[in-house]
Structure 1
Amino acid sequence: MKLLHIDSSILGAHSVSRELSRATVQRLKDLNPETDVAYRDLVAAPVPHLTGEHLTASPAVAQEIALGEEILDEFMSADVIVIGVAFYNLTISSQLKAWIDRIVIAGKTFRYTATGVEGLARDKRIILAVARGGQYRHGGSLVPCEHAEAYLRSMFAFIGVTRIEAVVAEGLSLSEARKQSGKEAAFEAISALAPCCVHRGAA
């Protein structure tokens, strides 16, 4: 099984999302010791944001275009993708958005047909390891403001991924007690993750 591990938090060693993503990867490796893990840190090695030059395949950005192809190949070859999702200003980090823009490609991961959009990135399992300072679940007033997990679920569903899970630590900035209980809930969810069953079908 091939696993792609993505981190997107700018907080380094202080990041809860990085802590959760590491634990998630370790859980999956414990369940399947033969897991082949590729790692990409979007902060240590940022993916350049798209520009008009990218869209016209300008020779000036040939190296960045090659990086985009590498990122897409890395994503498509993975059976499982674990993403550490930092929550900034109600959504994902700009670093993660730049990565998303390199994998959501017409003709590669989705296509338009006479009957609508068809996702081409099937047979993948995506696990989002999310850390949030506030309380955005369970009917609270901030639920409509959650544009990170919701966005990623929509985006990956758009390209054909049907197995999308999330382990979430939230309330981390409300109090020390809430931070502790939020992390405990996330680690319980990680420990309950099921083994990966890889079924490669037609693209």
Structure 2
Amino acid sequence: MKLLHIDSGIQGERSASRALSAAVVDRLRSDRLDLAVVRRDLVADPIDHLLPGDLAGGEADGIASEFLDADIVVIGTGLYNFTIPTQLKAWVDRILIPGRTFLYGEAGPEGLAGGKRVIVTLARGGIYSPGSPAAPLEHAETYLRGVLAFIGITDPEFVIAEGLALGEDARAAAVSAAMQRANDVAGAVAA
């Protein structure tokens, strides 16, 4: 079984999304001894932003193949300026490939990358959950759900830590609750 671990949090050792994604991967590794893990750190080893000619061949094919070969994909990201970091957007641009991960038919787009388990660990400084005053500004979870559904992954699982910028006590409580959720989600995937 193959797992692709993507990290895009820019806060290094203080990154909650990195800590959460690592916890998910560690739990899956402990439960699945046959798990082969490929890690892609989009901050340490960034992908160039999309330019003309980048849509097929070369790096795009390698990144898409890495994604398509994975049975499980774990994505660690933060919410930056209401959306995903540009590093993760550059990766998404490389996996949205007509004929490989989706195609357009008479009935509209059809996803070709279904059948994968995708777990997204998402860290947010404020409170953006449904019903909160800032909910309309949340474009990381909504964007990723939309992109993944477009390519056929309709049931990604999200582990969210939010309110991280509301003080150290709030941060600790949010990360602790998210760590428990990360353990539960990874345990269910490994079962």
Give the TM bin, normalised by the shorter chain: over 0.9
Identity among equivalent positions (%) equals 49
1:60: which partner in 2? Answer: none
1:31: which partner in 2? Answer: 31
1:48: which partner in 2? Answer: 48
Shift of the alpha carbon at 1:45? 0.8
1:22: which partner in 2? Answer: 22
2:112: which partner in 1? Answer: 120
Equivalent positions of 1:103-118 (< 5 A) are 103-118=95-110
Answering whether residue 104 of structure 2 is matched by residue 99 of structure 1, we say no
Equivalent positions of 1:166-177 (< 5 A) are 166-177=158-169
Counterpart contact for 1:32–1:195, Cα < 8 Å: no
Counterpart Cα distance in 1 of 2:32 and 2:60: 29
Q: List alignment gaps of at least 5 residues for structure 1.
A: 58-64, 198-203
Could you tell me the TM-score, scaled by structure 1's length? 0.89
Shift of the alpha carbon at 1:126? 0.6
Counterpart Cα distance in 2 of 1:78 and 1:27: 17
Shift of the alpha carbon at 1:138? 4.3
Counterpart contact for 1:17–1:130, Cα < 8 Å: yes
Secondary structure in structure 2 of the residue aligned to 1:181: helix
Secondary structure in structure 1 of the residue aligned to 2:115: coil
Q: List alignment gaps of at least 5 residues for structure 2.
A: none
Counterpart contact for 2:145–2:154, Cα < 8 Å: no
Secondary structure in structure 2 of the residue aligned to 1:85: strand
Q: Which has the larger radius of gyration?
A: 1
Answering whether residue 139 of structure 2 is matched by residue 147 of structure 1, we say yes
How big is the alpha-carbon RMSD for the aligned residues of Structure 1 and Structure 2? Answer: 1.3
Counterpart Cα distance in 2 of 1:12 and 1:41: 11
Shift of the alpha carbon at 1:117? 1.1
Counterpart contact for 2:54–2:60, Cα < 8 Å: no
Shift of the alpha carbon at 1:147? 0.2
2:77: which partner in 1? Answer: 85
Shift of the alpha carbon at 1:163? 2.7
Counterpart Cα distance in 1 of 2:132 and 2:30: 35
Counterpart Cα distance in 2 of 1:32 and 1:138: 34
CA offset digits 1:33-87 (Å, max 9, x no partner):
21110000001111011112435x7xxxxxxx42211101000000000000121
